[in-house]
Amino acid sequence: MNGFEKHSIDHLSASSINLWSNAPDVWVMQYLHGLRTPMGPAPWRGICVEHAVVATLQGGSEQDAIKAALDKFDQRFLIGDETTTKERDLIQPMIQLAVEELMEFGKPEFPAEGGQEKISITAKGDGWEIPVIGYLDLVFPQHGVVIDLKTTTRVPSSMSPEHQLQRGIYQKAKGNMGVKFLYCSAKKAAMLEDGDVVEILAKAKKQITRIEAFLRHTDKETARLIVPHNPDSFYWRGSEDLRDQFYG
């Protein structure tokens, strides 16, 4: 039995591999013990913007989409503080800018059954194999391009290694299409397409190999006791109580 089978892990994703690399203590808590850190206002803002952009590109009213996005945000963060209000205030300009950037691509296509298109590639090693999955934000077959929308307060000049891995997985799965990431702040946007896919996936495979070996040699309680723990990691921000309960 390989490590993934031992722990009933039937797939990985870019975010799972990145979390393993950056915060193995959070990874152990989430993926072995099933305790999720709550989604903060910034990623939730991103989801609200993305839904609104899709609705608008599909022919809906941008104003209605903005209102729906704000309602969706408020539904989650009913009691606003300075942080949530700051994120909320970014929703409208981010939607407007993203729509402006993406309008030229026309209507994105989605699976007939609804939702986002799921992609899967398989990583294989010595005695193990595991699907690595992802979900595509915007697919424009007529332009031969897949676009992942990233909302951010600062538009980067190059993609982070974490995003490069996500792009590499998507690119591998959609070999005949280009895969680009649209970074969008409230004021600025940039379309990026960084990283060599072969190199990125080779590096990812090394990490996946380590995950499998770690899992093969530990049970989940031992993993909790021995995994390096960084209580100051920003991954714990907003989840300090959970951190203290789990790691003491």
Partner 1 sequence: MFNLDLGSDSVAGPFLAWSALGTRDGAVPQRSFYIRSTDGKTPFDASKGLVFDIDAIKTGWQHSEGIAGVAPEWKWNQSVSQMMPKPGDDYKKGFSIPVALGGGKTAIWEQAGSSVWLALEAISPILSQRPDATSLPVFRHADSRFVQFNKGSTVVPVLELVKWTARPDALKEGVAAGIALEPTPAPQPAPAPQPAPVAAVVLDDMEF
Interface residues for partner 1 in 145-174 (CB under 8 A)?
none
For residue 170, what is the enclosing H or E element?
A: helix 161-173
Using rule CB under 8 A, residue 74 touches partner 1: yes
Pick the piece of the chain touching partner 1 (CB under 8 A) from 21-29, 73-81, 147-155, 187-195. 73-81
Spatial contact of 149 and 50, defined as CB atoms under 8 Å apart: yes
Burial of 231 (0-12, 13-18, 19+ CB in 10 A): exposed
Helix 161-173 vs helix 14-22: angle between axes, to the nearest 10 degrees?
A: 150
Rounded Cα distance between 191 and 121, Å, is 24
Rounded Cα distance between 97 and 123, Å, is 37
2, 21, 40, 80: which one binds partner 1 (CB under 8 A): 80
16, 84, 166, 171: which one binds partner 1 (CB under 8 A): 84
Interface residues for partner 1 in 184-223 (CB under 8 A)?
none
Smallest separation (angstroms) from partner 1 to the CB of 76: 6
Residue placing its CB nearer to partner 1 in the complex, 91 or 132: 91
Rounded Cα distance between 147 and 185, Å, is 16
Using rule CB under 8 A, residue 72 touches partner 1: no
Interface residues for partner 1 in 107-146 (CB under 8 A)?
none
State the residues that interact with partner 1 by CB under 8 A.
38, 73-82, 84-85, 88, 241
